[in-house]
Amino acid sequence: MSRAFKITPRPWLTCVASRAARLPGSDSAVNNLRCKSVIEAYMADVMTREQRSRCMSRIRGKDTKPEIALRRRLWSLGFRYRLHPNLPGRPDIAVSALRFAIFVDGCFWHGCPAHGVRPKSNRDFWKRKLEANRRRDRNTTRTLRSLGWKVFRFWEHEVENNIDHVLSRLLKERSRVLDGQLPNSARQRSKHRTMSRAGGD
């Protein structure tokens, strides 16, 4: 491992997958493992408490690159949404017409099972902090569902590495919701038109 990683603190190292593409190599799994090793080195007692606090404070809580990328693609596909609305948990994206609440969770802060890494310094604090974050996420999801919202949670690395899959899930659910909103007569007419076009071909 390059020594430069150990002496040049960079806050982006706290999110593994969302930065994996910056490292050499085309295999994402190898990149993820390499990133995890780098982060573990950082999370040891390399920085002072003040340096760690300053480093952590620079990590964005909203309007991250994955969020912005997802928002742009959703808008281009006809989704109209609000950002960080006054709902439980303040979803990153809320599509009110469909009752979709979308979260783009950071790998570090929300405890990604594939890429989440706990700091090695002040372990008890970080254990309590990250477990509380996950507990809050679960409670938020339950509350939103009880209010009639469909909750989607995507890891940052999912959006960055395979945004088409993320969009596919949302498009499929949009089609299901819109189809369910049609009255039976309208749904039958739509089905009939589709079958007529198919027969004409």
Is residue 167 within 8 A of residue 74, CB to CB? The reply is yes
Max mean pLDDT among 1-15, 62-76, 104-118 falls in 62-76
- Evaluate if residue 14 carries a pLDDT over 50: no
Q: What is the CATH number of the domain that holds 70?
A: 3.40.960.10
Is residue 152 within 8 A of residue 169, CB to CB? The reply is yes
Is residue 73 within 8 A of residue 90, CB to CB? The reply is no
Prediction pTM value:
0.62
Q: Please report the pLDDT score of residue 197 as a whole number.
A: 54
Print the domain residue range for 149. 4-200
Q: Please report the pLDDT score of residue 57 as a whole number.
A: 46
Number of domains, the chain: 1
Q: Please report the pLDDT score of residue 78 as a whole number.
A: 96
Q: Please report the pLDDT score of residue 8 as a whole number.
A: 41
Q: What is the pLDDT of residues 79-91, one digit of tens each?
A: 999 999 999 999 9
Structure-model confidence comparison of residues 146 and 119, the more confident one: 146
Q: Please report the pLDDT score of residue 72 as a whole number.
A: 97
Supply φ then ψ for residue 97, to 5 degrees: -60, -30
Angle 123-128-131 from CA coordinates, rounded to 5°: 115
- Evaluate if residue 99 carries a pLDDT over 60: yes
* Four-residue CA torsion sign, 24, 110, 93, 147: positive
